Amino acid sequence: MAESFSVAILGQGTVGSEVVNALHQDHPDLDDKAGKPIKLKAIHRRVPRSAGNFYQQNPCLYRNIADIVSDGGIDCVCELMGGIDAARNAIQDAMRSGKHVVSANKALFASHWPELVALAEQNNVQLRFEAAVAGGVPVLNAIATGSASENICQIRGIINGTTNFILTEMERNGTDYQEALAKAKHLGYAEADESADVRGDDACQKLSLLIAHAFGKHIPPDDIPTMGIDRVSLKDIEQASSMGCRIKLVARAEQIDGHVIARVGPELVIADSPLGLVPRNLNAVEVKSNLNTTGNFYQGEGAGGKPTAASVLTDIVNIARQSDRGYVPPFGRSVQTAENCPDAHNHAFYVRFVIRDAVGIIHDMTGVLKKHNISLNSIVQLPYPEGERAHLPFFITVEDTTEENLRRALDEIGDLPFNMEKPHYMRFERDDMWIRHDADTANA
């Protein structure tokens, strides 16, 4: 076999521990796939003794970051610390020292990858971050290499397992949002501070990286309109179910005439559609292209120690396999800075109001919708207990309007005196939900 390939791990948390275990156990299959022995050379952990027996048995492996990046015998640094500043400095120092880098840091790479990729090219080293998107689902490599001949036109998916677990729990067990969130935390699917997940920020960061791979465009997360699930209620879940739908947090982007339109937000997806069937904390990404209009569908565990470690180890093996090549573009193509274009297309939407029951509400609502040229498709007011008249859920669906136009209309309706909460809207997965096609009629 060829000369060994030495790896240092920065961070020994949930993912780092699994990577350390795999490398420390000296798996021959990893060596065979890499074409050379892969050796664990060093570990950085803020408090080494907290590694317990592993530290007691392997104290010589534990070193500080400065020693690791300056060690000429280390070929690859794997950053699994998380955070921004310390991780960014460690990655930069490693590449300046001629070391390849693997990372799972979605927050860092979504915003700073252009400068990091440029630094990798300058120092003729490789930089990979498969685990930064969808954990153990190898979607970035699939897009960069498996779809290299295709012109990708659309990507969409469920790329945050925490929110998918919460929404699934609400639907299956009839629990409200707060109760489902508490269970997600108890099971380890949600962080103590869940805000990045439930507000959609995590999915937005991952979508930015997917766009770079799929379209060769860099759109920073701050430029992608994002809505979370923190306002989704059990009433919304129940109403979606009555329409044959489920609510999922969907990240989507499409490229039309060279322009990218991207957004993240909860959507009503058809219950038995590919996205509708994605359960609990799993992730899924659908990729459509000029040569594959039906789309490839990638699904698997989007978080957790072992699945994410699998993607990290795959990156390590791929770098070791071609380490003599020096720099290799991580996206499989060049990437240019771009803008996220406003979505000027008409869509279908679901809207939920919470109102104080009174005479003339529908008249006032429809008057505003007519003013904004919005087509009202349906109105639903479910039977309610007498005690709910002052806080009554009320649902409508609309079609053939842009999101911006709907938002303006809802802002105006929201100022009317019968509202008890700000109106909340969600997009439908398909814009032709209310059109009965000939095939539908034939099968009816």
Residue 179 CA to residue 170 CA, distance in Å, equals: 8
According to DSSP, the β-strands at 392-401 and 347-355 are antiparallel
| Domain harbouring 204, CATH code | 3.30.360.10
Tell whether 147 and 296 lie within a shared domain. yes
The pTM of this model reads 0.91
- Give me the mean pLDDT over the 142-159 stretch: 89
Give the rounded percent of residues in the chain with a pLDDT score beyond 70.
Answer: 96
- The verdict on 359 and 371 lying in the same domain is yes
Q: Alpha-carbon distance 108 to 346, whole Å? A: 34
* 444 within domain boundaries: no
Q: Residue range 150-175: average pLDDT?
A: 95
- Read off the CATH number of the domain in which 380 is found: 3.30.70.260
Calculate mean pLDDT across residues 14-31: 89
393-409: average pLDDT: 94
Same domain, 295 and 409: no
Task: Give the residue-averaged pLDDT of 282-301.
Answer: 92
Pair (262, 325) in one structural domain: no
Whether pLDDT at 439 is above 70? no
pLDDT per residue over 364-389, tens digit each? 999 999 999 999 998 887 776 766 77
Q: Note whether 368 and 280 are same-domain residues.
A: no
Beta carbons within 10 angstroms of residue 55's beta carbon: 17
Residues 128 and 193 in one domain: no
Q: State whether 182 and 273 are in the same domain.
A: yes
Alpha-carbon span 79 to 196, nearest angstrom: 21
- At residue 435 the predicted structure's pLDDT band, cuts being 50, 70 and 90, is low
pLDDT at 3 over 50: yes
Tell whether 442 is covered by a domain.
no
- How far is the CA of 214 from the CAs of 43, 345, 387, in angstroms? 34, 21, 52
353 plus 317 within the same structural domain? no
pLDDT at 437 over 80: no
Same domain, 159 and 197: yes
Q: Does residue 40 carry a pLDDT above 80?
A: yes
| Domain around 324 | 5-135+306-332
Same-domain status, 29 and 74: yes
Domain check: are 200 and 246 in the same one? yes
Q: Give the pLDDT band of residue 293 (cuts 50, 70, 90).
A: confident
pLDDT of 434: 65
pLDDT value of residue 444: 44
pLDDT of residue 441: 46
Instruction: Tally the domains of the chain.
Output: 3
- Marked catalytic residue, from 36, 206, 217, 248: 206
Tens of pLDDT, residues 58-81: 999 999 999 999 999 999 999 999
Using the predicted structure, report yes or no on whether residue 278 has a pLDDT greater than 90.
yes
How large is the average pLDDT for residues 384-405?
86
- Kindly indicate the confidence band of residue 411, based on its pLDDT and cuts at 50, 70 and 90: very high
CA nearest to 235, candidates 393, 357, 414: 393
370 is an active site residue: no
With respect to residue 127, please indicate whether it lies within any of the assigned structural domains.
Answer: yes
Other Cβ atoms within 10 Å of 104 Cβ, number: 26
Confidence at residue 442, expressed as pLDDT on a 0 to 100 scale: 47
The answer to whether residues 291 and 355 belong to one domain is no
Looking at residue 438, what is its pLDDT?
58
Is 441 part of any domain? Answer: no
**Start-end of H helices in 280-344:** 305-321
Q: Residue 203, SS3?
A: helix
Average pLDDT score over residue span 402-425 = 96
Mean residue pLDDT of the chain comes to 92
pLDDT digits (tens, 9 = 90+) for 223-270: 999 999 999 999 999 999 999 999 999 999 999 998 999 999 999 999
Whether residue 312 is contained in a domain is answered as yes
